[in-house]
């Protein structure tokens, strides 16, 4: 069944507040994690117009590309490497205003200018994946994004 999102214009905060309850209803009705990650990627891309939105899943000691929206991406990332690997290693959200200034940044696309990565954690607190969002603009992400994307990742 096709799902429609209802998010009118407004501030970033207002968009997240309108989107999150809809995504909660969507993911609570589906037990398949890949399906939920795919729909969440699409919803975030559609709502905010981010350059790239997707998930990496911890498999066999590395992050492996999962569902995403945007251009092709890096397939595997080691723990501690780049923004995604750092978020995994530290088990905390990484907000990067300028990816060129991030030591060890992995440039999957030269068009990416800023990034936020939010860990997905199991009930026991272990990181099982990350939500990665890239923007073509500098300084696109802030504590508002970190707050609401953290809530979203907790729902997943």
Per-residue pLDDT of the chain (156 residues; tens, 9 = 90+): 346 777 877 899 999 999 999 999 999 989 999 999 999 999 999 999 999 999 999 999 999 999 999 999 999 999 999 999 999 999 999 999 999 898 878 777 778 899 999 999 998 999 999 999 999 999 999 999 999 999 999 999
Q: In angstroms, how far is CA 91 from the centroid of its own chain?
A: 14
Three-class SS of residue 92? coil
Give phi and psi for 43, each to the nearest 5. Answer: -65, -45
Alpha helix stretches (DSSP H) within the chain: 12-28, 33-48, 82-90, 143-155
116 bridge partner residues? 95, 133
Can you give the pTM of this predicted structure? 0.94
Q: In what order do the strands lie in the sheet with 62-69?
A: 76-78, 62-69, 52-59, 127-135, 114-121, 94-96
Give phi and psi for 131, each to the nearest 5. Answer: -95, 125
Alpha helix stretches (DSSP H) within 29-81: 33-48
Question: The tokens of 63 are what?
Answer: 């992050």
């Amino acid at each position: 069944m096709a799902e429609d999102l209802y998010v009118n214009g407004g501030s970033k905060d207002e968009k997240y507040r309108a989107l999150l309850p809809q995504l909660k209803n969507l993911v609570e009705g589906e037990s398949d994690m890949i399906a939920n990650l795919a729909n969440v990627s699409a919803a975030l891309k559609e709502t905010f117009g981010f350059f790239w939105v997707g998930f990496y899943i911890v498999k066999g000691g590395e992050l492996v590309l999962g569902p995403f929206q945007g251009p092709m991406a890096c397939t595997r990332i080691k723990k501690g490497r780049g923004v995604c690997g750092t978020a995994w290693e530290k088990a905390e959200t990484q907000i990067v205003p300028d990816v060129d200034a991030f030591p060890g940044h992995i440039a999957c696309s030269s068009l990416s200018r800023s990034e936020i990565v939010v860990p997905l954690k199991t009930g026991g607190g272990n990181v099982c994946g990350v939500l990665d969002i890239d923007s073509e603009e500098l300084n696109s992400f802030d504590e508002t994004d970190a707050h609401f994307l953290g809530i979203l990742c907790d729902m997943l």
